[in-house]
Amino acid sequence: DGGITQSPKYLFRKEGQNVTLSCEQNLNHDAMYWYRQDPGQGLRLIYYSQIVNDFQKGDIAEGYSVSREKKESFPLTVTSAQKNPTAFYLCASSIDLSREWANYGYTFGSGTRLTVV
């Protein structure tokens, strides 16, 4: 079955370390997104990518970096510059935004819960 796989499900990071969250999709979707979820805050957009080798900052990109070398993969690195990284991170994908995107919305992964220790 097609879907989005996020790994790991739980991740612990020490202060000052960079960590990378994995997101892989086999839906042949063009666009991919990273959201951060904090209690009572809803989902906030970190980065998104519409095509390979291109990505744009979302609303809260500071302290994060991404790459899009392959259509299927959109890893997120939480750098030491992110002062409060403890949160639940969700990856999503959608088909070409210029076509029938709105009929399907996004498909989400099951998330990675990152905790700073």
If you write DSSP's letter for every residue of 56-73 in order, what string do you get? Answer: EE-TT-TTEEE--SBTTB
Nearer to other proteins, 80 or 88 (CB): 88
Q: Min. distance of Cβ 97 from other proteins in angstroms? A: 5
φ and ψ at residue 53, rounded to 5 degrees: 65, 20
Nearer to other proteins, 59 or 62 (CB): 59
Nearer to other proteins, 45 or 75 (CB): 45
Residue 115 β-bridge partners = 12
Q: Min. distance of Cβ 83 from other proteins in angstroms? A: 21
